[in-house]
């Protein structure tokens, strides 16, 4: 696996149907913050996006570990 890919993280968010879930109300309106080369920069972007919507309980931002989705067999190790 490419070492750059192993560090890729996606930050995204949007309005959810229930604040306890990650079921987005409208996939056309999901905010794709960006793809980041490491967890630290992804976390910084996530904090910024989440902070802007902190008063809205239906808005939720997450960090997606792209390498875990692209090569799940490596995450089990």
DSSP letter at 7 equals G
Q: What percent of the chain has pLDDT over 70?
A: 87
CA–CA gap between residue 29 and residue 47 (Å, rounded): 19
Per-residue pLDDT reduced to its tens digit, 28-51? 999 999 999 999 999 999 999 999
Are the C-beta atoms of residues 46 and 31 closer than 8 Å to each other? no
Can you tell me the mean pLDDT for 6-35?
92
Top pLDDT among 76 and 22 is at: 22
pLDDT of residue 69: 81
Number of residues that make up the chain: 77
**Predicted model pTM:** 0.80
Average pLDDT over all residues of the chain: 86
Number of domains in the chain: 1
Range of the domain at 68: 5-75
Q: How far is CA 40 from CA 9, 29, 44, 46, in A?
A: 10, 26, 6, 10
**Chain position carrying tokens 């930050």:** 11
CATH code of residue 20: 3.30.70.2400
């Amino acid at each position: 696996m490419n070492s750059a890919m192993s560090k890729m993280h996606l930050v995204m968010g949007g309005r959810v149907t229930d604040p306890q879930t990650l079921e987005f109300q409208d996939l056309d309106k999901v905010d794709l913050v960006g793809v980041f080369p490491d967890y630290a920069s992804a976390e910084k972007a996530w904090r910024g996006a989440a902070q802007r919507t902190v008063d809205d309980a239906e808005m939720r931002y997450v960090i997606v570990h792209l390498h875990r989705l692209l090569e799940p067999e490596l995450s089990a190790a």
